[in-house]
C-alpha cells in the first residue's frame, strides 16, 4: 500500500518543475491530486501520463476566490481535501535598490499572500479530513541571504515563520503543518540557475554532496511530510539540500 493511499491532495504549481515531481510522487503513493496553476500552454498535457489520478484546475494563488474554487473543485471531484501542498512560487531577481515595485509585489503576492490564501481556503476541508496535512514550500534561501534575491529570500523567510505559527494554531483541528526547504535542485528555477555559470559557480562549492538535488529527492521528502510516517513532525522546516555550508 502506498504512503498516501486514499488521500486527496491539492498541489499548487504542480504543472512543472518540483510541483510536477511532487504530483507524480503523490500519485505513485496512491493519492489523487488536483493541481492548481495559472496554466501556460500545455498545462493539461503535463498531467496526461497520470491517467486521471491528477487533474488540472486553472488557479491563480494571488486571488482568494480562485483558490477557494480550487478547493471546491478538489472536493467535488475526489470527495474532500486531505493534503495541501503549497508549492507555487517564483522569483524576480535584481538588487533591492533597483528592483521594480511590480516585481517585488509579484513575488510577495505569489509566495506569501498566495500561501495565506491557500491555507485559509484549505483549512475547512483539512479539518473535515480529520488527518489534514499542510506542506509549505520555502527554500535554502529562506534562511540564507543571497544578493540579488531580496524579494525571494524575504518571502521564503516569511513562509517558514508563517508555517511555524499555523502549525500551533491548527494542531487542535487535527492539521499537521510542516515546511520543505530545498536547496539547489535540477528542476525548475534551480535548473535555470545552473545554466547561469557565473552564478552557479559561486554556489556549487557550498554544496557538501557536490551536486544538485533531484526533483525525486525533494518529492520523497514531501511524501514523508504528507503521509503517516511524518505524523509527529509538526512545525518543522525540513532542509533537503545535500549539506549546504553557508
Looking at 85-93, 115-123, 201-209, 230-238, which segment touches ligand NAP (CB under 6 A)?
85-93
Examine the residue annotation and report whether 232 is marked as an active-site residue of this protein: no
DSSP string, 2-53: -TTTT-EEEEETTTSHHHHHHHHHHHHTT-EEEEEE---TTTTGGGGGGTTS
Looking at 26-34, 59-67, 143-151, 163-171, which segment touches ligand NAP (CB under 6 A)?
59-67
Convert residues 106-145 into a mask of x (bound to ligand NAP by CB under 6 A) and - (unbound).
Answer: ----x---x----------------------x-x------
Among 1, 40, 172, 232, binds ligand NAP (CB under 6 A): 40
Binding of ligand NAP at residue 53 (CB under 6 A)?
no
Among 56, 78, 87, 134, binds ligand NAP (CB under 6 A): 87
52 is written with which cell numbers?
486521471
From residue 11, alpha-carbon distances to 34, 140, 143, 222, 246 in Å are 6, 20, 24, 11, 30
H helix runs in 97-203, sequence order: 101-107, 114-129, 150-170, 188-195, 197-203
CA gap 172, 200 in Å, rounded: 43
55 is written with which cell numbers?
487533474
Binding of ligand NAP at residue 174 (CB under 6 A)?
no
Q: How many C-beta neighbours within 10 Å does residue 20 have?
A: 24
Active-site residue identified among 152, 203, 224, 232: 152
Among 25, 89, 125, 242, binds ligand NAP (CB under 6 A): 89
Binding of ligand NAP at residue 155 (CB under 6 A)?
no
Q: Of 177-236, which residues contact ligand NAP (CB under 6 A)?
A: 182, 184-185, 187-190
Min dist. Cβ of residue 41 to ligand NAP (A): 9
**Residue 96, C-beta contacts closer than 8 angstroms, at least 6 positions apart:** 150, 151
Min dist. Cβ of residue 6 to ligand NAP (A): 25
Catalog residues that contact ligand NAP under the rule CB under 6 A. 12-13, 15-19, 36-40, 43, 59-62, 87-90, 110, 114, 137, 139, 182, 184-185, 187-190
Q: Catalytic residue positions? A: 152
Amino acid at each position: 500500500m502506498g504512503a498516501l493511499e486514499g488521500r486527496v491532495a491539492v498541489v499548487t504549481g504542480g504543472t512543472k518543475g518540483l510541483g510536477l515531481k511532487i504530483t507524480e510522487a503523490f500519485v505513485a503513493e496512491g493519492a489523487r491530486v488536483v493541481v492548481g496553476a495559472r496554466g501556460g500552454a500545455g498545462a493539461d498535457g503535463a498531467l496526461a501520463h497520470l491517467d486521471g489520478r491528477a487533474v488540472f484546475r486553472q488557479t491563480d494563488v494571488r486571488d482568494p476566490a480562485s483558490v477557494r474554487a480550487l478547493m471546491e473543485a478538489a472536493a467535488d471531484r475526489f470527495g474532500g481535501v486531505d493534503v495541501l501542498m503549497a508549492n507555487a512560487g517564483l522569483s524576480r531577481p535584481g538588487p533591492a535598490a533597483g528592483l521594480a515595485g511590480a516585481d517585488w509585489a509579484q513575488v510577495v503576492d505569489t509566495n506569501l499572500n498566495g500561501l495565506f490564501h491557500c491555507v485559509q481556503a484549505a483549512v475547512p476541508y483539512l479539518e473535515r479530513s480529520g488527518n489534514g496535512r499542510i506542506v509549505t514550500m520555502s527554500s535554502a534561501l529562506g534562511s540564507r541571504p543571497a544578493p540579488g534575491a531580496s524579494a525571494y529570500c524575504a518571502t521564503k523567510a516569511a513562509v517558514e515563520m508563517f508555517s511555524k505559527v499555523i502549525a500551533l494554531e491548527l494542531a487542535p483541528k487535527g492539521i499537521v503543518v510542516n515546511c520543505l526547504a530545498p536547496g539547489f535542485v535540477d528542476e525548475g528555477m534551480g535548473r535555470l540557475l545552473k545554466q547561469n555559470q557565473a552564478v552557479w559557480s559561486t554556489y556549487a562549492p557550498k554544496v557538501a554532496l557536490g551536486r544538485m538535488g533531484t526533483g525525486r529527492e525533494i518529492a520523497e521528502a514531501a511524501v514523508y511530510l504528507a503521509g503517516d510516517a511524518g505524523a509527529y513532525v509538526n512545525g518543522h522546516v525540513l532542509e533537503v539540500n545535500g549539506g549546504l555550508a553557508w
